[in-house]
């Protein structure tokens, strides 16, 4: 079905859906039935399929933790991991409702799987440490984050506490209590970031990269891997649910700019990338310090997605349903990128995946800056948080690193490249 729709759209052909899927009656647009609406059809390309052979061997029989387990990515991770028969599944989330819902789903679909539901914010360092000390996860999938660009832009201290301080708390617990690997979910918005959501995620990338490089040459050192996502179709609070809600009300569909482009992927593709990265990393197949990005094809214009959704509902854009241009929101970019201007793009051992080696920063510089960011964020000092973060990501930041530490960075990377 995906191939037929993608091919038809490339040829400019209309796709007919079953009678009753939608109505042209202006008075009954609210009755559009989204049960038969496959959001993967909006990709304009077939979904990527990664080889799952190594994943089962990496997960089966291990204690696995998912942070942000109640979110869109976290819940899909939980579903796919549960099917791989881990020894125990640890569900961690700060939202009581989200945690309750994912726990109920696991109880219904995997009643015999040992699991623990852990109500905890990753901002709570001591509680995170106690949980790790008690449960000793072997694999950690870190999906907990604040992800909405305008909200983080308007609430920077909160974004820093979750995406920067929280990520450091989880990573430090992984290192302290002997987990084998941590995979961090990041975003293409971390590349040459304009908004602070991207800035916070880039700082998390840098910290995990530094820890991964620090373990080079030590076979028992945990792996810290980062995967970058594009826009995940249908994730909570994202574009597609917004368009569905607007379409059900008869429109208009709101688009920020006619040239706005994004990379898109399905939640299934996103989780496959996370699981495969952990499996390959634990198997010693992946170089230390790299970032992994799914090949998502070409970026798609948001306005084209709006057109496709309207047509898939059996309606005509700008005739049955209007499209309204509302302007860019704070922190948004017109075009997303997969790699930073200074990153070296490298061949990947995983088909359908790109790899990049960003410039690294020493742990000491990151730790001292993160301490200052945490102090400012707790005080609600958004201005200081922003200045500290931007200064750390400035192009010339490496010149401010003490010479002895600066010399260690390329050495660490060379050891990493030879140690695998």
Active site residues: 189
Q: At 167, list the tokens.
A: 């990520």
Query: Residue 150 — φ and ψ, nearest 5°?
Result: -65, -35
- Dihedral sign (CA 319, 321, 324, 329): negative
Dihedral through CA 256, CA 262, CA 268, CA 272, nearest 10? -150
| 197 touches 331 (CB < 8 A) | yes
Q: State the residue for tokens 């994943």.
A: 55
Q: Residues 294, 49: contact at Cβ < 8 Å?
A: no
**CA distance linking residue 133 with residue 176, whole number of Å:** 9
Q: 203 in helix, strand or coil?
A: helix
User: 148: closest CA among 331, 402, 302, 360?
Assistant: 331
Q: How far apart are CA 246 and CA 248, in angstroms?
A: 5
Contact 261, 335 (CB under 8 A): yes
Q: Helices then strands (H, E): number in the chain?
A: 15, 15
Max CA pair span of the chain:
72
In contact, 304 and 255? CB cutoff 8 Å:
no
* CB environment 119-142: b (16+ within 10 A), e (fewer): ebbbbebeebeebbeeeebbbbbb
């Amino acid at each position: 079905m995906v191939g037929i729709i993608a091919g038809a759209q490339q040829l400019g052909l209309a796709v007919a859906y079953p009678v009753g899927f939608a109505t042209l009656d202006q008075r009954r647009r609210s009755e559009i039935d989204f049960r038969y609406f496959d959001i993967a059809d909006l990709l304009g390309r077939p979904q990527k399929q990664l080889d799952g052979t190594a994943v089962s061997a990496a997960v089966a029989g291990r204690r696995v933790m998912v942070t942000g387990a109640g979110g869109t990515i976290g819940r899909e991770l939980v579903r796919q991991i549960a099917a791989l028969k881990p020894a125990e599944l640890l569900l961690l989330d700060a939202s009581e409702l989200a945690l309750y819902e994912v726990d109920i789903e696991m109880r219904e679909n995997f009643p015999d799987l040992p699991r623990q539901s852990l109500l905890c914010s990753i901002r709570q360092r001591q509680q995170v440490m106690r949980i790790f000390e008690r449960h000793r996860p072997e694999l950690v999938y870190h999906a907990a984050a604040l992800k909405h660009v305008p909200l983080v832009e308007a609430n920077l201290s909160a974004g820093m506490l979750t995406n920067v301080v929280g990520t450091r708390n989880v990573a430090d617990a992984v290192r302290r209590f002997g987990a084998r690997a941590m995979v961090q979910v990041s975003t293409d918005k971390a590349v040459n970031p304009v908004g602070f959501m991207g800035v916070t995620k880039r700082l998390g990338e840098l910290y995990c990269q530094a820890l991964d490089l620090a373990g080079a040459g030590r076979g028992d050192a945990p792996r810290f891997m980062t995967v970058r996502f594009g826009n995940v179709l249908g994730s909570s609070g994202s574009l597609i649910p917004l368009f569905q809600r607007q379409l059900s009300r008869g429109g208009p569909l709101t688009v920020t700019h006619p040239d706005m482009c994004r990379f898109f992927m399905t939640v299934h593709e996103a989780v496959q990338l996370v699981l495969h990265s952990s499996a390959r990393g634990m198997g010693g197949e992946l170089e230390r310090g790299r970032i992994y990005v799914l090949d998502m094809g070409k970026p798609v214009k948001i306005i084209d997605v709006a057109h496709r959704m309207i047509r898939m509902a059996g309606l005509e854009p700008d005739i049955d349903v209007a499209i309204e241009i509302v302007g860019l929101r704070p922190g948004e970019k017109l075009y997303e990128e997969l790699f930073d201007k200074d990153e070296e793009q490298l061949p990947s051992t995983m088909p359908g995946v790109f790899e990049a080696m960003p410039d690294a920063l020493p742990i000491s510089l990151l730790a001292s800056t993160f301490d200052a960011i945490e102090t400012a964020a707790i005080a609600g000092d958004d201005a200081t948080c922003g200045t500290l973060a931007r200064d750390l990501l400035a192009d010339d930041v490496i010149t401010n690193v003490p010479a002895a530490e600066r010399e260690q960075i390329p050495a660490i990377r060379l050891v990493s490249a030879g140690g695998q």
